[in-house]
Structure 1
């Protein structure tokens, strides 16, 4: 889902004239579109699939970090306890 700068840049004039074009482009390509102003990127319009995948990845990484920090705070359990808790 990498941005193709040659295809995924939208200047403000295009956005003002035909905002639906940006929505259709994002929906068809499933790539984020970079909105520019004065030749610089100012915002990104992601596809819903890309946005949801990124949110799931962030939630997973937060859970991993919390799990890694848990033993340091005394939140350890034995393998037997973990299996029982998970119904295994």
Structure 2
């Protein structure tokens, strides 16, 4: 989901004039739009679906990193230990 600078830079004034076009662009292209003011980036607009997907991916990656850290620190349980703690047979 890399920004295509030729297509995804939008001046704030254009957002004020035609916000629907900017929203449609983010939804159809599945890329965020970088809003600029006087040539500098000031904000990012992204579709809700793409934002939620990215958040889920970040949460998953954080869980993987935490799991790997637990393994390195020796914080691990066998399947039998987990079943016993959960009261499963």
Q: Distance in 1 between matches of 2:61 and 2:29?
A: 27
Q: Distance in 1 between matches of 2:11 and 2:67?
A: 43
Counterpart of 1:35 in 2: which secondary structure?
A: strand
Equivalences for 1:42-81 in 2 at 5 Å?
42-70=42-70, 72=73, 75-81=75-81
Unpaired segments ≥5 residues, structure 1: none
- In the TM superposition, what is the alpha-carbon distance from 1:66 to its structure 2 partner? 2.6
Unpaired segments ≥5 residues, structure 2: none
User: Could you tell me the TM-score, scaled by structure 2's length?
Assistant: 0.76
Equivalences for 1:8-47 in 2 at 5 Å?
8-47=8-47
> Over aligned residues, Cα RMSD in angstroms?
2.1
Q: Which moved more, 1:24-33 or 1:62-71?
A: 62-71
- In the TM superposition, what is the alpha-carbon distance from 1:23 to its structure 2 partner? 0.8
Q: Which moved more, 1:62-71 or 1:20-29?
A: 62-71
Q: Distance in 2 between matches of 1:81 and 1:3?
A: 47
User: Could you tell me the TM-score, scaled by structure 1's length?
Assistant: 0.76
